[in-house]
Structure 1
Amino acid sequence: MRNRFIAPVKGRLIAISLLGATLAATTPSVQAQQSYQLPDLGSTSATVTTSDEYHLGRAWLRQFRAQTEQWQDPIAQTYVRSVLAKLVPYSGVDARLVVTLVDSRLLNAFAVPGGVVGVNAGLFASAPDEDEFASVLAHELGHLAQRHYARRMERVEETQLPTMAAMLAGMIIAAGGGGSAGIATMMGSQAAFIQDQLAYSRRFEQEADRVGLNAMAKAGYDPQAMPEMFRALQKLAALQGGNPPEFLLTHPVTESRISDTQARADQLPSPAHRDDPSYAMIRARALLMLNQDMPSQAMTELEQDDPPEAAVRYLEALNDARQTRYVAALDKLDALARDYPDLSMIPATAAQIAYDANHREDALARARRILRLSPSYYPAQWVQAEALLQTQPAQAFDVLRDMSEQYPEDPNVFGLLAEAAGRSGRDAWGQLARAEQLQLEGRIDTAIRQLDSAEQVAKESGDYAMASRIEQRRKDFIGYRETMQNF
């Protein structure tokens, strides 16, 4: 399942870049307005506004995609969004969040100004249950809610947005596993300053803990999981000696902090036990991806934490599929789906496996059954688009056009849209969609060259309306590139 949709791209590191598939549902008119927006980074005020944060974060994420290996897993990503959706109403965070998953075993999660939340696959491996996983996300939302980046910047004399840009550039390396040494190498004389800015103050950590604990309790998670997770991190740091988890480089855990968090958690209610294997199933996906060269190790790691029996069956099905035992995998998943009819991830997994087995009609039928009940369930939308692309590319184009409006900053959607357009004879559309994919991945120069080609194709075919549209996008892309170079 590793990087199954689009291979990672390495490129030149720029201070910031952009992305943004929104977490909160928006109306079609708003989606259409968002579809072609690029961030305006022109402000140089010492005061960092929420608008500045929003655009900076999405600009940063574009370049982050170009610099790190992404874990492209629609089922896992949709699950993380669902956890955030439970926490956001009680966190005081603007709901315009975007999630990025990182293909890394390092234990890390991070939040970037403007609502970008990143999760390494390694966090799933290290958090044995959903409450502990949610505690990390709740803490990160606490930092966003309290606007700790902006507040820290405002305390630095004569700070301007480029200083924040440099800090976020350092986070590209830190989040990807480079740590402080990578930051120092990249930023030279500013390294000490940036290193200091990456580490939150004790007060900021306590504020994020408090906000996170309250959000957890109100969202139905167990606040006791936060001090438990901190103890586990502290223990892991002691075992690793000079190489503590990446999360601790920017979120240091002390005994006093654990005690304070425990005292606060003790004052909040703990919910009754939930009989839901969803998290354990997502964890199984992460463990299999991280141990793809030795799948048996994934099962060993999963079983160490006494998982629900359903998660073990789910991982067995995933292993069957990896070994091309597709019939056995589908039989297991269909049985699981009967036992847990409300978990869309199970039939969605079966639909993806049916597609991988070249059973395209079966995959399409399975995906459409899910979509009749959950029309916006992204993993099923994706399988439907993949299957249609192979059999009915014109229909796939229509489906993917709608998806590009629903997910205007998802490069995977635009990549598939480019294929559908090409296969259905819409060459200019195909090249335009490819250009959108490239700019969302942080490859703005290549995207501009792609638009040049698209415009020529449109003019040669006499489609001057499309040529005009492409020319406008070219101006947008060039303006964005110049802004980034000046920034």
Structure 2
Amino acid sequence: MNKCFSVAPILFLWFTFSHTSATHAASNDLPSLGDATSGFISLQQEKALGNSWLRSLRRQVKTFHDPLTYNYLTSLVSRLAPNSELTDRDLNLVIVDSPVMNAFAVPGGVMGINAGLFIHSSSEQEFASVVAHEIAHLSQRHYARSLERQQKTAPLALAGLLASVIIAATTNTDAGIAALASTQALSIQSQLSYSRQNEQEADRIGIQTLYDSNMDPKAMPSMFERMLREARLYGNRPPEYLSTHPVTESRVADSRNRAEQYPVKAYSEDLEFHLIRSRIMLHFSESAESAIRHFKSTIDEGNTFNKTASQYGLAIAYNKAGKPEKAEEIIDALLIRNPNRIIFMIAKAEAMAKKGEIDNSIALLKKHLKRNPGNYAITWELSKQVAKRGNINDLGESESLLLSLTRNHPNEPKIWYTLAEINGEAGNIVQLHRSRAEFFYLIGEIDDALLQLQQALKKSQGNTQVTATIQQRIDDLYKAKKGINF
């Protein structure tokens, strides 16, 4: 791994968008920044821009689909957002499958992290400080405010900045820094002081959000200090102008002074963060065997949370290595202390399935789904286990489970991709094409999505209600195709 990106300070990327785009091409008069309908760029326009940007990101970067991790991140955001200044809390969360430490917030309520942020955060408090900072940027609409300020330089390439994120996430090389420099160099120098002002504001609001959410405000300067220490250790600290969110000694000191103003108190850690962190560590391990060695060596280190997280990590590493009996033995011990913790229960179900006990695994998952209706992680695992049995009734049940997930998580490509596979096995050809269409749309391949919908339309002739629904979706996608695309 290239040392620059493995330890570089988080690149919080805010993007410039040309006022000569289709959204504003009809007018030379730039409106003043205002409410949701009258600003230089409205909230509705931001939402469209963010959705288009996210589709492009998914097309070019592998995202991390793990319902347990997503559930945890959603829960944390739900804890922080009500205590922030965010008015529109309909956020679209994405996790990038990269060990690089990174996070970003994009206009329109898109917020993302690299999975590696879990590894680089030593505690839930530090991790939450990054999320709170991102929420603060969204709440203050720093993107739209920067557009209003830099109307003359706005045509700098949004696509180029997107490419920088992609290069950084996929190659871990200096090419990401170079691309970022080439697209931003002209504008960053002229707006750096404004960028620092955004940072101070986001730090201040983020720290307040942490405190109001009963989380440690001192975690933010602690996280900044960690970034600086790691950057110095590896001797590769990028110049400030390469990041719209530079981490400097003065910024650390300022955030420390702000955090010190809050009362000293004890803050509790959520065990779930540390368990998810173990999942991420296994995911990025060189092999299951190397992960087993790591978790064995750390079981007796640190506090109870760390020990439990290492035991859990060892269990799922054993399962990945094809040793489900050893995995189940550890998980059973963990379940004695935490009988209803979903992450442990799913690990047991996975171990049972690996041992060939599919029926018992399914029974366990159904029991807990009844206790936790609609739970993303349980429903996802159950749909996989039921489909493994392969008969037509089980395929129909798996279809039904996945369809229920699409209603609550309509913007997750992996669900639609898997649903399409099950549709095909079940012989549901019209729904196969419709599911494929949604998958292609969500990864920015709109032409392929339209082709799938046309196939679905042909095969659904005679069913007036279905054809009308498909035709409406075709119209929606044509509108999206004419909008902002990268």
TM-score (norm: length of structure 1): 0.82
Is the CA contact 2:196–2:245 (under 8 Å) kept in the aligned structure 1?
no
Residue 79 of structure 1, aligned match among 72, 85, 88: 72
Seen in structure 2, the aligned counterparts of structure 1 residues 450 and 173 have a Cα distance that, compared at 3 Å, is same
Give CA-to-partner distance per residue, 1:343-372, whole Å, 9 cap, x none: 322212333444455533223222222222
Letter in 2 for 1:326: P
Is the CA contact 1:184–1:191 (under 8 Å) kept in the aligned structure 2?
no
> Which residue in 1 is equivalent to 2:403?
401
Segment of structure 1 superposing worse, 356-365 or 242-251: 242-251
Letter in 1 for 2:396: A
> Within 2, Cα distance between the matches of 1:305 and 1:206?
34
Give CA-to-partner distance per residue, 1:181-230, whole Å, 9 cap, x none: 54765997x55346669977111111111111111111121111111111
Is the CA contact 2:133–2:203 (under 8 Å) kept in the aligned structure 1?
yes
Residue 259 of structure 1, aligned match among 247, 253, 257: 253
Is the CA contact 1:421–1:427 (under 8 Å) kept in the aligned structure 2?
yes
> Which residue in 1 is equivalent to 2:285?
291
Show structure 1 runs of 5+ residues with no match: 1-14, 17-39
Q: How many correspondences in the alignment?
A: 445
TM-score (norm: length of structure 2): 0.82
Seen in structure 2, the aligned counterparts of structure 1 residues 352 and 154 have a Cα distance that, compared at 3 Å, is farther
> Within 2, Cα distance between the matches of 1:418 and 1:246?
46
Is the CA contact 1:284–1:298 (under 8 Å) kept in the aligned structure 2?
no
- How far off its partner does 1:150 sit? 1.0
> Within 1, Cα distance between the matches of 2:265 and 2:125?
11
> Within 1, Cα distance between the matches of 2:273 and 2:147?
36
Seen in structure 2, the aligned counterparts of structure 1 residues 317 and 403 have a Cα distance that, compared at 3 Å, is same
Residue 427 of structure 1, aligned match among 411, 415, 429: 429
Is the CA contact 2:168–2:177 (under 8 Å) kept in the aligned structure 1?
no
Give CA-to-partner distance per residue, 1:116-144, whole Å, 9 cap, x none: 11111221111111111111111111111
> Which residue in 1 is equivalent to 2:445?
443
Seen in structure 2, the aligned counterparts of structure 1 residues 131 and 41 have a Cα distance that, compared at 3 Å, is farther
> Which residue in 2 is equivalent to 1:416?
418
Q: Secondary structure at the match of 1:201?
A: helix
> Within 1, Cα distance between the matches of 2:262 and 2:123?
19
Give CA-to-partner distance per residue, 1:73-121, whole Å, 9 cap, x none: 1111111111111110111222111221112121111111122111112
> Which residue in 2 is equivalent to 1:476?
476
Show structure 2 runs of 5+ residues with no match: 1-14, 31-39
- How far off its partner does 1:288 sit? 1.1
Q: What RMSD, in angstroms, separates the aligned Cα atoms of the two structures?
A: 3.2
Q: Secondary structure at the match of 2:483?
A: helix
Q: Secondary structure at the match of 2:369?
A: helix
Seen in structure 2, the aligned counterparts of structure 1 residues 140 and 275 have a Cα distance that, compared at 3 Å, is closer
Seen in structure 2, the aligned counterparts of structure 1 residues 194 and 61 have a Cα distance that, compared at 3 Å, is farther
Segment of structure 1 superposing worse, 51-60 or 167-176: 167-176
Letter in 2 for 1:54: K
Residue 329 of structure 2, aligned match among 331, 335, 339: 331
Is the CA contact 2:160–2:179 (under 8 Å) kept in the aligned structure 1?
no
Give CA-to-partner distance per residue, 1:281-338, whole Å, 9 cap, x none: 1111111111143324653896676652211110110111011111221232232122
Matched, 1:389 2:391: no
Larger radius of gyration: 2
> Within 1, Cα distance between the matches of 2:96 and 2:129?
19
Letter in 1 for 2:210: M
- How far off its partner does 1:65 sit? 0.8
Give CA-to-partner distance per residue, 1:52-85, whole Å, 9 cap, x none: 1122111111111111121221111111111111
> Within 1, Cα distance between the matches of 2:70 and 2:363?
23
Matched, 1:204 2:198: yes
Q: Secondary structure at the match of 1:308?
A: helix
> Which residue in 1 is equivalent to 2:90?
96
> Within 2, Cα distance between the matches of 1:73 and 1:245?
35
After superposition, where does 1:354-393 map in structure 2 within 5 Å? 354-391=352-389, 392-393=394-395
Seen in structure 2, the aligned counterparts of structure 1 residues 77 and 242 have a Cα distance that, compared at 3 Å, is same
> Within 2, Cα distance between the matches of 1:226 and 1:208?
11
> Within 2, Cα distance between the matches of 1:252 and 1:301?
36
